[in-house]
Amino acid sequence: MSFERKNIQAMAGYVSGEQPETADVIKLNTNENPYPPGPAVAKALASMHVDNIRRYPPPTAMALRQSLARLHSVQTDNIIITNGGDELLRLLLATFLDTDECVGVAAPSYSLYDVLVAAHGCSMQNFALMPDWSLPTDLAAQLNAAGIKLCFVVNPHAPSGKLTAAAELKKLALEFNGLLVIDEAYVDFVDPPLKHNCVPFVLELENVIILRSFSKGYSLAGLRMAYGLGAKSLIDPMQYKTKDSYNTDLIAQTLARAAIEDQAYASDTWKKVREQREWLRGELSHLRLHTPESQSNFLLAEVPPEFSAVKIYEALKTRGILIRYFNLPRLDNRLRITVGTPEENQKLLTALTAIMAAGGK
Ligand SMILES: Cc1ncc(COP(=O)(O)O)c(C=O)c1O
């Protein structure tokens, strides 16, 4: 006998990338920042007093929201702090989706969306990206025709790294009748000359929510902190009705704030990642592992037809190098590689060169 709801019984859980407990693995599989959190975060952690955790934390993380409001030139009412971006995704469904309504996803994309939708008990429809991973130009019309209530678009796209211009997303939001969630988990790694910024939309449009994460850009994946930006009318019901009263803890709020206040350190890590991204992309192409241009901290390499992506993934794993393989349509002949430090990237290339020299499927 099972007490699970029928939809929970029927669904499969999310399979996260491997998280080895040993330090001697080169970990290029879950898109963490290869550089540690900055000195301001270390200092804030060292100066925390154990007495402070006797009391509950600030329920809506006001001090952190104030720092973020200054950073983004929005009001604190436009911000909700969540226990990782994953909690924000769950809150969006809990707050805005009835179980007879349908979610749309520009696919392929972050597979957690499917899992959360299945757990919530509503339905989901995939809207295929173009061969170059761009959004179909008629996406809004497709979404409206299918009666989609909420649509997830990752930008820069995961797993390709392709960036959709802000103007294109604004047009989509204006034409779409539902709620557009722009998942910007990787936006910190976009090249600054592109001056890409979707945040102003939340002050103009009442159907846009932006997801931002501390996990990648701020090197704080272990802390589980993220935030949503949106119109007050979208943020309030999540802030005051559907989120847990104390969804983020005091230590996480304090360290996330220290990270936000030290933009210079974080920006320097983004710059180093971008430089390595371009270098690695060139080196991979010499091995005939071609990757689309990426504005993120990972590259999606297409494996030449005489090789098997899963075999390369496994061969790297036996050499202590983890990358990501997805056994999914359009992705099963590709490998997603997180950009590491120069030393890690060099070791990856040395291993790849040897594995591919040995050849074969
Ligand atoms: C596309 C995308 N969105 C959101 C997240 C959520 O990140 P987190 O829960 O660590 O903030 C991830 C994490 O890998 C991701 O890849």
Cβ–ligand 1 contact at 213 (below 6 Å): yes
Beta bridge partners of 180: 151, 208
Residues 244 and 272 in one domain: no
Pocket test for ligand 1, best of 16, 29, 81, 86 (most atoms within 8 A of CB): 86
Cβ–ligand 1 contact at 110 (below 6 Å): yes
Phi, psi at 233, each rounded to 5°: -65, -25
Distance between CA atoms of 138 and 311, rounded to whole angstroms?
Answer: 38
* Segment 136-185, tens digit of pLDDT: 999 999 999 999 999 999 999 999 999 999 999 999 999 999 999 999 99
Residues 141 and 255 in one domain: yes
* Segment 187-216, tens digit of pLDDT: 999 999 999 999 999 999 999 999 999 999
Pocket test for ligand 1, best of 32, 210, 216 (most atoms within 8 A of CB): 216
Residues 109 and 245 in one domain: yes
pLDDT > 70: percent of the chain: 99
- Asked if the structure places residue 4 within a domain, the reply is no
Q: 2: CA distance to ligand 1 center in Å?
A: 31
| Of the residues 205, 232, 261, the one at which a domain ends | 261
Q: How many domains does the chain have?
A: 2
Residues 110 and 175 in one domain: yes
Beta bridge partners of 337: 299
- Asked if the structure places residue 105 within a domain, the reply is yes
Residues 254 and 162 in one domain: yes
- Residue span of the structural domain in which 83 resides: 39-261
Residues 301 and 349 in one domain: yes
| Of the residues 261, 278, 300, the one at which a domain ends | 261
Residues 240 and 300 in one domain: no
| Of the residues 238, 261, 284, the one at which a domain ends | 261
Q: 87: CA distance to ligand 1 center in Å?
A: 10
* Residue 9: CA count within 13 A, CB half-sphere: 6
Q: 306: CA distance to ligand 1 center in Å?
A: 33
In CATH, what number is assigned to the domain containing residue 29?
3.90.1150.10
Residues 190 and 63 in one domain: yes
Q: 86: CA distance to ligand 1 center in Å?
A: 6
Residues 254 and 299 in one domain: no
Residues 28 and 79 in one domain: no
* Segment 206-247, tens digit of pLDDT: 999 999 999 999 999 999 999 999 999 999 999 999 999 999
What is residue 313's predicted lDDT score, i.e. its pLDDT? 97
In CATH, what number is assigned to the domain containing residue 172?
3.40.640.10
Residues 240 and 275 in one domain: no
Residues 269 and 257 in one domain: no
Contacts of 189 (CB under 8 A, 6+ apart): 156, 216, 217, 270, 273, 274, 277, 295, 296, 297
- Asked if the structure places residue 148 within a domain, the reply is yes
Mean per-residue pLDDT of the chain: 96
